[in-house]
Copies of this chain bind each other. A is one copy, B any other.
């Protein structure tokens, strides 16, 4: 029997942001919206969040079947964030989640914000799909990392993304210095993200730790009306004392040698 495909479905970057949210057509192409409206089998991080997103899709691209009749499975906790993508996936769990595709139906892996499996759970499910010879089809949508990288003016030919930095102050300071050393040695821009409510504290910490001439990029609320992205030497960031409002918005941070 022909297997179904696993579609990777991106989501807008406004998860957890204050209403009014921009229309999904701002960031999701028609082909992505059409797939979202058609697919009956879903794997996601949180079923409630997915239903809220599909309601927004339904407003511009009517769903092929009622929201209540969709089959939605959640990624197990053990596969979330840090545990995911390490080593071989648990194939018993994977076969259950991928059962629709194994039975010949197209299915979706959804994200809460941006692309699934990029700074987001899901990599284990995708790895398992490859092992089970299920075709994987990524759909186009927004990625805060990619948008920040393009809009930073920093090195987009060579770059590295590091996920979240350590929360412990000492460990974070040493990680920031290590990323700074890396970009001075290689020229590659270095990127990371933080949970919104910690953004301001992280920025202040980075400004303490980094060299005055190192270039720092902060991109926040990308694709939203509040979208803001700046690349400046650390010393110029230090001179900006006003409240930055960063703690309410998803943000991406990057640094580079001058």
**A residues near B, CB below 8 A?**
8, 25-31, 81-82, 84-88, 115-120, 122-130, 136-138, 140-143, 145-163, 187-188, 222-223, 227, 229-232, 258
10 A-B contacts (beta carbon < 8 Å): A85-B153, A118-B149, A120-B156, A126-B150, A128-B153, A140-B140, A143-B143, A158-B162, A159-B160, A160-B161
Q: Assess the B87–A153 pair: CB atoms within 8 A.
A: no
Q: Closest residue to A143 on the B side, CB-wise?
A: B146
Complex: how many Å from CA A113 to CA B158?
Answer: 17
Q: Assess the A153–B123 pair: CB atoms within 8 A.
A: yes
Inside 8 A of A8's CB, which chain B residues have their CB? 150-151
Inside 8 A of A160's CB, which chain B residues have their CB? 158-161, 188
Q: Assess the A153–B126 pair: CB atoms within 8 A.
A: yes
Complex: how many Å from CA A140 to CA B222?
Answer: 10
Q: Which of A25, A125, A147 has the most CB of B within 10 A?
A: A147
Q: Assess the A157–B82 pair: CB atoms within 8 A.
A: yes
Q: Assess the A127–B153 pair: CB atoms within 8 A.
A: yes
Inside 8 A of A85's CB, which chain B residues have their CB? 153-157
Q: Assess the A118–B146 pair: CB atoms within 8 A.
A: yes
Inside 8 A of A149's CB, which chain B residues have their CB? 115, 117-118
With A27-B29, A140-B223, A223-B140 in contact, do A129 and B153 touch (Cβ < 8 Å)? yes
Complex: how many Å from CA A147 to CA B142?
Answer: 11
Complex: how many Å from CA A136 to CA B188?
Answer: 21
Nearest first, the 3 A-B pairs at minimum CB distance are: A127-B153, A126-B153, A160-B160
Which residue of the partner chain, among B25, B116, B163, contacts A29 with CB atoms under 8 Å? Answer: B25
Q: Which of A30, A82, A158 has the most CB of B within 10 A?
A: A30
What's the minimum C-beta distance from A111 to chain B, rounded to whole angstroms?
9
With A29-B26, A138-B222 in contact, do A124 and B153 touch (Cβ < 8 Å)? yes
Inside 8 A of A188's CB, which chain B residues have their CB? 160
What's the minimum C-beta distance from A97 to chain B, rounded to whole angstroms?
13
With A141-B140, A231-B130 in contact, do A187 and B86 touch (Cβ < 8 Å)? yes
Q: Assess the A88–B258 pair: CB atoms within 8 A.
A: yes
What's the minimum C-beta distance from A152 to chain B, rounded to whole angstroms?
7
Q: Closest residue to A219 on the B side, CB-wise?
A: B138
Complex: how many Å from CA A229 to CA B230?
Answer: 35
What's the minimum C-beta distance from A190 to chain B, rounded to whole angstroms?
9
